[in-house]
């Protein structure tokens, strides 16, 4: 009886070790899939490039077309949605930058959080730090930038995003 239990334990132990090893590979695959891919980040990189450079004759080509686009921002009219949302957002952003006299904008992202993907859509939130000058003074703004990106004929595009500031610092003049 004791000999059988030892054999069962060894067999079970070997099975358990194999299972743990296999689950390590599965977990490693999940870790690799726990963040947006470079392709999913491409439209986010594109919107950052647009926002930091604001090319006069160019438009942000990172959004899905059509009536499904939704953007929530901290400048008027705050909610941009539908077929004209991208153009209205761009106009609002340019006005916001001009009114604040923002320049030298730069962004840094923390690791993506709450990443999930279903079908042709992915959701993730990026801890974000914006820096630059506002009215000639340095500023640092921290926030969370949540995205829904959708894959289509033109690759991944932004279907929706929401910006929320969590901290803002400007040294006194």
Q: What is the pLDDT along the chain (173 residues), one digit of tens a residue?
A: 444 443 334 334 443 333 333 333 333 333 345 899 999 999 999 999 999 999 998 888 999 988 999 999 999 999 999 999 999 999 999 999 999 999 999 999 999 999 999 999 999 999 999 999 999 999 999 999 999 999 999 999 999 999 999 999 998 77
Neighbours of 35 (CB within 10 A): 13
Question: Position of tokens 């358990």?
Answer: 16
Neighbours of 149 (CB within 10 A): 26
The CA angle 125-130-135, to the nearest 5 degrees, is 145
Sorted by sequence, the CB contacts under 8 Å of residue 152 that are 6+ apart come out as: 64, 120
Question: Position of tokens 């999940």?
Answer: 30
Q: 76-113 burial, b if ≥16 CB within 10 A, otherwise e?
A: eeeebeeeebbeebbebbeeebeeeebeebebeeeebe
Question: Position of tokens 């004759």?
Answer: 57
Global pTM reads: 0.79
Locate 4 and state its tokens: 């059988």
CA pair distance 77, 157, nearest whole angstrom: 22
37-169 belongs to CATH 1.50.10.10: no
For the chain, give every domain's residue range. Answer: 1-32, 37-169
- Beta bridge partners of residue 72, listed in sequence order: 79, 162
């Amino acid at each position: 009886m004791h000999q059988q239990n030892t054999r069962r334990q060894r067999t079970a132990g070997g099975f358990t070790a194999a299972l743990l090893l296999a689950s390590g590979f599965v977990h490693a695959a999940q870790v690799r899939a726990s963040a947006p891919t470079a392709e999913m980040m491409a439209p986010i990189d594109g919107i950052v490039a647009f926002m930091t450079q604001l090319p006069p004759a160019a438009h942000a080509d990172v959004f899905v077309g059509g009536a499904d686009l939704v953007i929530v921002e901290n400048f008027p009219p705050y909610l941009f949605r539908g077929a004209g949302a991208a153009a209205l957002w761009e106009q609002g952003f340019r006005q916001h930058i001009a009114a604040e006299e923002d320049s030298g904008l730069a962004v840094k992202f923390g690791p993506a959080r709450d990443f999930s993907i279903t079908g042709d859509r992915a959701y993730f939130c990026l801890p974000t730090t914006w820096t630059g000058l506002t009215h000639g003074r340095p500023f640092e703004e921290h926030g969370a930038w949540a995205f829904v990106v959708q894959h289509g004929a033109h690759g991944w595009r932004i279907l929706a995003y929401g910006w929320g500031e969590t901290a803002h610092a400007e040294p006194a003049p």
